[in-house]
Structure 1
Amino acid sequence: MASGGISLFVVGQWWAAKSGSASANDAMGLLALAVVFLAGLTSAQLATESRRPNHLSQLQGPVEFYRAVVDENPVVRPATYATTLRVSAVRVGGRWQTAVGGIRVSVPREVGVATPRYGEVWLVRGQPTPAKAPLNPGEFDYRRYLAYHQIYHQQFIHPDQYRQIAFLPPSYVRAVSLRVAQVLDGVFRRYLTAKREYALASALVLGLKNDIDSETKQAYANTGTTHIMAVSGLQVGLLFGLITWVLRRLFGGAPGFRYWSAGVGLAVIWSYAFITGCSASVLRAAVMFSFIIVARVSERQSTMYNTLAVAAFALLCYDPYLLADVGFQLSFLAVLSIVYLQPRIAGWLDFQELAARRQRPWQPRPVRYLWLAGGWSAEWIWQATALTLAAQVATFPLGLYYFHQFPLSFLLSNLVAVPLSSGALYVGLGLLAVTGITHGISALVPAFASSVEAGPRLVAVLLENIIWAFNEYIFWIGRQMPHALISGVQLTAPQTWLVFVIILSLLLFLAVKRLAWLGLACALLSVFAGSRVWAAHRTSTDEELIIYSIPRRSVCGFWQGAAADIVSVDSLPLSETERTYRIVPGAIQRASRRVSYHQGWQATPIPATLQADDGLVLVVWRGLRLAFVTGYLSPARQPWPVDVVILRRNARVRPAELAAVFGKKPPIIFDSSCRSWYVARQDSVLRAAGFLTHDVTAQGAFRQQPRQ
């Protein structure tokens, strides 16, 4: 299809050039866009590994063993290491064959278990399972996220299930890059004594975030400064700006400055990408700034928009699925918004001109200098404010869509955080440079080793104090403005697109000063408000029972519109992590106003009738009759018709007992407290006896509407 479109465009372009008609040229432009779109679709289809005949998902028969290479640095979690394996061969039915596919694996963090390394080749026993769909309402779709990275399977690997058999990294450049990043991380670990400051320095300069604690991550998320903890376009832009300024100040008049300074800029940017482990975010920023440098040095008529478009096009040609990457979307939207809006916002005020008007010839020189310094400082603050506001205009809809929150304190946070983080980045790179110099001197002249060691320590003290001030300011903002975070916002994909179109309409109105664009923005805003009202109305009348899928827990939710009572049947409170990732997404989806958590059935305010016995709890809620079975059913128990039966903690029941007490009509639910071996055994027995079953661990949360 794409080749046919290209052929049609070539013929059409020849016809348009021959006719010389303006309308024909316009038509060819539209045709060219259509051809590019078709080529992009074709490229995306070709890049999808699951379509290949030797992909893991296409294999016939269970996988006994597979050989795979560790394709990324591991993510260190409290109990596991998480990383990605790229398969090269599998053994099926006793025969080895080539295969492809990505597997997201978790390895327990135990004594004697080495941290996985990029490039290790593993021989693994066992069958990887397809990635699971979201198990609870509103939960993050991790399966789709993995699919965008060409990963379609998951597996928990015990230490006795795998063995390293070789070391063959897919890219030796990246392997060396990751090793360099680890060595440089050792410099920060050695010289920065405070754990929190070390963790942030390593994240800010090298992009290594495994040691940042959850409290710090939450504080930065609440103040809209999370982007500072990830090495991306901000750090690359700061480094590019510093190198450009230094070269222009020192060698601006040198012959051929335009060309060799561009070479130096490219070398510095890509060297920085190398020492940070060649992470995807840094490589994306490096490509973007490389195109900017090349565009500047060519001095051809161009705009920043075309340069960014070419950079995005090149990246999407390399990996079409980058279009679905959140970092890619936020990066290019932020830069586009800054390029267009920052000069316009900054042009609203000119503090240097205002300060100049206040100066008079008869004023003392210190007063005039004070006006000059005040005007310069106010102008710098205003320029930074314009930059921050411009970046937020285009990115806040995506922030609401992906993260369901918006920090109102972003302006105060970033006005201080960005300068401090810039200083920390420069000082951190200076620490690495000074450490390298001192090690070189120590190797050449060992007698000077103890003397030159003072240099890195002094730089490290400066870096640690900058980051300490940085952290304290972020935590202070969080304490002083505890209610400045708008959270729990639910936007659907159509609503997000609607917000973008509203913003674009308002920008067009400000640019061309035509009321039609303002009218369109107002009309679309009414549609958006109507969609929100309709969603709230639809939710307000919704009532639902949910048996959640939370590992090793028995949790059920009784939802009435935007309010809910979440009951931990096992009387143990839910952890913050369990609430955040399992319950809260569904509450956000419903725009909930009240979610109450209860441990056990006592004092639960839901309208329920309880009857407890040995391992049996009977509940009636909104006409829906539930039976929670934990131990066994007494043979003397009278029949009790119910709508749903929930088996907990490997309940010792037989099909005949369930049928005698509850009948065969209600579905049998295995909640997450049941072990996998128990579910596998009981499920087949119950199905053979004519029962309908549902395993929340494998099939996701069970949802049931009450009787009307």
Structure 2
Amino acid sequence: MEIKWAPNAFVRLTLPLMAGILTYLYWGENLPELLPLVGVLLVLFGVVHGWATCQKGPAATDAAGLLAVLTVYAAGAALTQQATESRAPDHLYRFGSRVEFYRGVVDDYTVVRPATYATTVRVSAVRVGGQWRPARGGIRVSVPREATVTAPQYGDVWLVRGAPAPSKPPLNPGEFDYRRYLEYHQVYHQQFIHPDQYQQIATAPPNWLRAVAMRAARVLDGVFRHYMHAKREYALASALVLGIKDEVDQETKQAYANTGTTHIMAVSGLQVGLLFGAVTWLLGRLPGRRGPWFRFVAAALGLATIWSYAFLTGLSASVLRAAVMFSFLILGRASGRQTSMYNLLAVAAFCLLCYDPYLLCDVGFQLSFLAVLSIVYLQPRIGRLLHPKAFFLGQQRPWQPKAVQKGWKGLGWSFDKIWQATALSLAAQVATLPLGLFYFHQFPLSFLASNLVAVPISSGAVYVGLGLLVLKGIVALVGVGSGQVAAVLDWLPRIVAGVFEWLIWLFNEYIFGIGRLLPGALISGIHVTAPQAWLMFAIILAGLVFFQLRRLPWLGVACALLGVLESSRVWAAYQLAPDARLIVYSIPRRSVVGFWQGAAAEVVTLDSVPLTETERTYRIVPGSIQREARQVYHRPGWRGCPVPAQVLEPGLTLTAWRGVQVAFVSGPLSGARAPLPGLEAIVLRRNARVTPATLASIFGTAAPILFDSSCKSWYVARQDSVLHHAGFQTYDVTARGAFTVRAQR
């Protein structure tokens, strides 16, 4: 059969490109240099393509097509290989801890946290052995947020003393793999920098266009800050229109996550799509719109609008991604050809992945393209299931008054819009469901009720917010010529700002209201593995094929895959039920131990101070989700805990749980105590003042010595060498992560 590349040629090119990228991500370390292979394949493709052109047979064409797919596949792996910065001979990894100083430039937005500023510094040179050498590499740095410390700005060139440390892997079970996240952004090191450890020596933005764009975004943010009085409304306004979420509090973020409306706060496809829709609507009402050159003028204006907006929002990654997608849509329309939406999406994805192959690992990239793809395919099909407009128009009768007939028509129009919006929301959820469960472990049942009202209100707010910025810009221009006239005209942006603030307030109150009205509508704690997520995608795909072809075998395939998915979950629960383990957690400055039996746990904070919500959310809860735990009890101290714990003397507590004995030492020990052999571990807490001889006389040297996270780094460094010399094995929980002991079954 002859392979046809049209009308979705780029779909068939993008898929092997993605496959090549995934191949490198999973097995890249074992692959040789791939660029020569791509060159050979390109030459071979040219030869085979020339032969196929002369032969003009299906076999020759198929051979050329398959070779093209293989070439794109190899190119995907090669592009990812070239984009992997750690392979460079002058990467920071090559210098290790020998770095005395390094010079780098701030190359990212600054994230404002309660106690620190966090950003990324790109290194250009390091000093090793007193000599400066060229180097490259990204470092995720944190600096204390103090009155004397200025927030890092894009383009600041720093001279930093000390060597950065390689990024740490997850320290606790199920914890978010921040190291892998950073590696996907070509950042392999982290460092906390004290104020006396660095100084700004110059300003040299890596990209002047981006620097100007980021400054423009901050200027526009200042407009919202000036005109909006309520802090929460200002924070949401800036997030909604400009994508700046520094001031959005955690309670608001959680409320939006619980109702499935977090995407509204992220400036991306929604805002760019609204601008595109507004420009299209306005251009459709201009005279001469049927002229031969109008579509090119419309395309130019559309591109200018969305890229101007991308510039004014700081050229953030999410906006750039959406701008590229809509740019190809505009260009496709301007070409005057019947272009497939799937092909346009594939072109956008292909170009973005060629620019940065690691975008394939970006959650926003995955969700954006899957949501748009699902909307393009499913929304018309779901929308055709009901016909509210035809139903209400069918209620009209010739003898009814005109007002009643108009009422039926209005109801038909209104319910049709509501149903189409419902169809769009349902379509977007279908394809993104597996990813939502895999990444966020929850599903908001209230997403329909939330989005049906929140999206229209937020859309109106975006238009009003942009109108406020335009009005303020006009007033500022007038102020250049006449300050008095500008002061008089300032009442216009103030009125618009009042409307804008009211819309934001209404939008926010509705989201919080949905949360209060439907407190149990969020299903959380769902654990889905990567293979299970792929199975879910396969089930959805088989179901869609069944509905399209109406053939029962495809329904059988979907049911069989569903059976495999559920069997995997049942088997995982069966395997987990008898699993018992003791975990000494790695939580900064805390002593925390967990006793896990299947899906139940007792988590004890040995310092008798309850864990904060942040500590529980980021350190304990991921492991609970991984085990799909339903009974997790947090105990501040041993009181009320069913796990046997015996205080043998001040500073020494012994626990015995399911055959596992662990000693917790927090103070000096009496060397006269009878020996306690058979321990699985000895945990040193709070810089316990003990000597190797005392520990050996009481516990022996067989059990490993654990330094928990309450121990200071200087204490660990000093005791570690002494204990090693005495014959002990040691384990630093802070540096190496949680320590786990499996109990007897």
Match of 1:665 among 694, 697, 702: 702
1:631-650 pair list within 5 angstroms: 631-641=667-677, 642-650=679-687
The separation in 2 between residues aligned to 1:61 and 1:460, in whole angstroms, is 53
The separation in 2 between residues aligned to 1:448 and 1:612, in whole angstroms, is 82
* Offset, 1:255: 5.5
The separation in 1 between residues aligned to 2:42 and 2:487, in whole angstroms, is 68
Alignment partner, residue 553 of structure 2: 516
The separation in 2 between residues aligned to 1:477 and 1:264, in whole angstroms, is 39
Alpha carbons 2:239, 2:265 under 8 Å: kept: yes
Alignment partner, residue 477 of structure 1: 514
Is 1:234 equivalent to 2:236 in the alignment? no
Q: Secondary structure at the match of 2:172?
A: coil
* Offset, 1:449: 3.1
1:292-691 pair list within 5 angstroms: 292-606=329-643, 608-641=644-677, 642-691=679-728
Alignment partner, residue 21 of structure 2: none
Alpha carbons 2:274, 2:459 under 8 Å: kept: yes
Match of 2:207 among 162, 171, 180: 171
* Offset, 1:23: 3.9
The amino acid of 1:499's aligned partner reads M
1:59–1:566 CA distance, 2 compared to 1 (3 A) = same
The amino acid of 2:329's aligned partner reads I
The separation in 1 between residues aligned to 2:52 and 2:520, in whole angstroms, is 60
Match of 2:299 among 252, 262, 276: 262
Q: For residues 82-136 of structure 1, what are the alpha-carbon distances to aligned partners after superposition, in whole Å with 9 as ceiling and x for unaligned?
A: 0000000000010001000000000000111001000000000011000000000
Alignment partner, residue 279 of structure 1: 316
Alignment partner, residue 218 of structure 2: 182
The separation in 2 between residues aligned to 1:344 and 1:28, in whole angstroms, is 36
Q: For residues 218-244 of structure 1, what are the alpha-carbon distances to aligned partners after superposition, in whole Å with 9 as ceiling and x for unaligned?
A: 000000000000100111011101111
The separation in 1 between residues aligned to 2:69 and 2:427, in whole angstroms, is 29
The separation in 2 between residues aligned to 1:266 and 1:575, in whole angstroms, is 48
The amino acid of 1:125's aligned partner reads R
Alpha carbons 2:580, 2:596 under 8 Å: kept: yes
Alpha carbons 1:85, 1:105 under 8 Å: kept: yes
Alignment partner, residue 285 of structure 2: 249
The separation in 2 between residues aligned to 1:446 and 1:584, in whole angstroms, is 57
Match of 1:223 among 234, 259, 273: 259
Q: For residues 550-588 of structure 1, what are the alpha-carbon distances to aligned partners after superposition, in whole Å with 9 as ceiling and x for unaligned?
A: 000000000001100000000000011001100010011
The separation in 2 between residues aligned to 1:12 and 1:520, in whole angstroms, is 38
Alpha carbons 1:258, 1:297 under 8 Å: kept: yes
Give aligned-pair identity as a percent: 64
* Offset, 1:254: 5.1
Alpha carbons 2:240, 2:267 under 8 Å: kept: yes
Q: Secondary structure at the match of 2:499?
A: helix
Alpha carbons 1:609, 1:619 under 8 Å: kept: yes
Alignment partner, residue 9 of structure 2: none
The separation in 2 between residues aligned to 1:152 and 1:552, in whole angstroms, is 25
Alignment partner, residue 63 of structure 1: 99
The separation in 2 between residues aligned to 1:47 and 1:253, in whole angstroms, is 46
* Offset, 1:444: 1.7
Is 1:100 equivalent to 2:106 in the alignment? no
Match of 1:34 among 67, 70, 79: 70
Is 1:15 equivalent to 2:55 in the alignment? no
Cα RMSD between the aligned structures? 1.0
TM-score of the aligned structures, taking structure 2 as reference length = 0.94
The separation in 1 between residues aligned to 2:292 and 2:209, in whole angstroms, is 34
The separation in 2 between residues aligned to 1:28 and 1:344, in whole angstroms, is 36
The separation in 1 between residues aligned to 2:336 and 2:556, in whole angstroms, is 41
Alignment partner, residue 198 of structure 2: 162
The separation in 2 between residues aligned to 1:60 and 1:123, in whole angstroms, is 18
* Offset, 1:358: 1.0
Q: For residues 46-93 of structure 1, what are the alpha-carbon distances to aligned partners after superposition, in whole Å with 9 as ceiling and x for unaligned?
A: 110000000000126610000000001200000000000000000001
The separation in 2 between residues aligned to 1:652 and 1:553, in whole angstroms, is 18
Q: Secondary structure at the match of 1:420?
A: helix
* Offset, 1:432: 0.4
Q: For residues 672-693 of structure 1, what are the alpha-carbon distances to aligned partners after superposition, in whole Å with 9 as ceiling and x for unaligned?
A: 0000000011011111111011
Alpha carbons 2:645, 2:653 under 8 Å: kept: no
* Offset, 1:301: 3.8
The amino acid of 1:74's aligned partner reads T
Q: Secondary structure at the match of 2:667?
A: coil
Is 1:150 equivalent to 2:186 in the alignment? yes
Q: Secondary structure at the match of 1:72?
A: coil
The amino acid of 1:229's aligned partner reads M
Q: Which moved more, 1:386-395 or 1:440-449?
A: 440-449
Q: Secondary structure at the match of 2:622?
A: helix
* Offset, 1:24: 3.5
Q: Which moved more, 1:508-517 or 1:30-39?
A: 30-39
Q: Secondary structure at the match of 2:348?
A: helix
Q: Secondary structure at the match of 2:188?
A: strand
The amino acid of 2:637's aligned partner reads G
The separation in 2 between residues aligned to 1:612 and 1:657, in whole angstroms, is 15
Q: Secondary structure at the match of 1:139?
A: coil
The separation in 1 between residues aligned to 2:533 and 2:654, in whole angstroms, is 44
Q: For residues 259-299 of structure 1, what are the alpha-carbon distances to aligned partners after superposition, in whole Å with 9 as ceiling and x for unaligned?
A: 10100000000000000000000001101110111111012
Alpha carbons 1:138, 1:585 under 8 Å: kept: yes
Q: For residues 510-547 of structure 1, what are the alpha-carbon distances to aligned partners after superposition, in whole Å with 9 as ceiling and x for unaligned?
A: 01111111111011100001000000011101000000
Match of 1:109 among 145, 148, 151: 145
Alpha carbons 2:580, 2:744 under 8 Å: kept: no
Alpha carbons 1:205, 1:428 under 8 Å: kept: yes
The separation in 2 between residues aligned to 1:60 and 1:684, in whole angstroms, is 21
The separation in 2 between residues aligned to 1:66 and 1:216, in whole angstroms, is 39
1:189–1:560 CA distance, 2 compared to 1 (3 A) = same
Alpha carbons 2:681, 2:703 under 8 Å: kept: yes
Q: Secondary structure at the match of 1:610?
A: strand
The separation in 1 between residues aligned to 2:513 and 2:730, in whole angstroms, is 52
* Offset, 1:613: 1.6
Q: For residues 591-640 of structure 1, what are the alpha-carbon distances to aligned partners after superposition, in whole Å with 9 as ceiling and x for unaligned?
A: 1121000010111022x141342111111111111110001111221111
1:15–1:449 CA distance, 2 compared to 1 (3 A) = closer
The amino acid of 1:458's aligned partner reads I
The separation in 1 between residues aligned to 2:286 and 2:423, in whole angstroms, is 29
The amino acid of 1:504's aligned partner reads L
The separation in 1 between residues aligned to 2:59 and 2:547, in whole angstroms, is 29
Alpha carbons 1:61, 1:92 under 8 Å: kept: no
Is 1:49 equivalent to 2:85 in the alignment? yes
The separation in 2 between residues aligned to 1:185 and 1:125, in whole angstroms, is 34
Alpha carbons 1:224, 1:410 under 8 Å: kept: yes
* Offset, 1:28: 2.9
Structure 1: 5+ residue stretches without partners: none
